Amino acid sequence: MSHSGSLDDFKSTALANKWPTILVEDVVSGADESWLDYFLGSGRNQNKEYQLRLRRGALIVTLVLSNIDEETQKDPQGTLVALADRVLQRVGDLGRTDTGVTPMLRLEVGGKGKAQQILYSVPDHKFATLKNVKLPWKIDLPLADRGDSLRNFMLSGQTPIARNGYPSAVSCRVVADGTVLEQAQNIGFASCGGHLPAS
């Protein structure tokens, strides 16, 4: 998983929803990256929830502290940071020495000339809109191993109207570690969407 990508996604979602935020970064000293904030906009409620996310090497940890009444629980942030420190102490070098193989997702849009627009949405990465892209186009994106959790992807390509009054053919294809998950071809617009396979 891209830790910074998940933080960017959280920031943009919080901004779009006008969530209260107490976002602080680099809160866990033993982590490569970490951040803490209210969990999914719960800062509006009296009983707040907090989340802390950290990355150390290939290890990614998310901790959530729920139903916190700030009148009785004086330092929920400190509690989460202390818990994260304890987790890192207990797991030794996990994430640093055994990084494993990062799963990759390849997105492809085929055709001639240029795509007027390419859109894609992939877990762990920001939604992207690309304009006037030379075809064929492709990108390889790393993915986190999320076990059995359901994760959606979407890719589409659109070609402009040609001189003859018609758009040209365009195709899309989504490939996970060599396995084709979805592919389509059409005139003017092609869309590929679906779920990533469970690990």
3-state helix, strand, coil in the chain (%, to 5): 15, 45, 40
Q: What is the pTM of this model?
A: 0.52
Across the chain, what does the average pLDDT equal?
A: 83
Is the pLDDT at 198 greater than 70? The verdict is no
Centroid of chain to Cα 98 = 22
Retrieve residue 139's tokens.
């990108």
pLDDT in tens, 41-97: 666 666 678 888 888 887 888 888 887 666 666 788 888 999 898 888 888 777 776
Domains, the chain: 3-90 (no CATH), 104-195 (2.60.40)
- Residues 17-32: tens digit of each pLDDT: 888 888 899 999 888 8
**Cα–Cα distance, 69 to 42 (Å, whole number):** 12
Alpha carbon of 79 to those of 30, 39, 85: distances in Å? 16, 15, 10
DSSP state of 199: -
Beta bridge mates, 114:
134
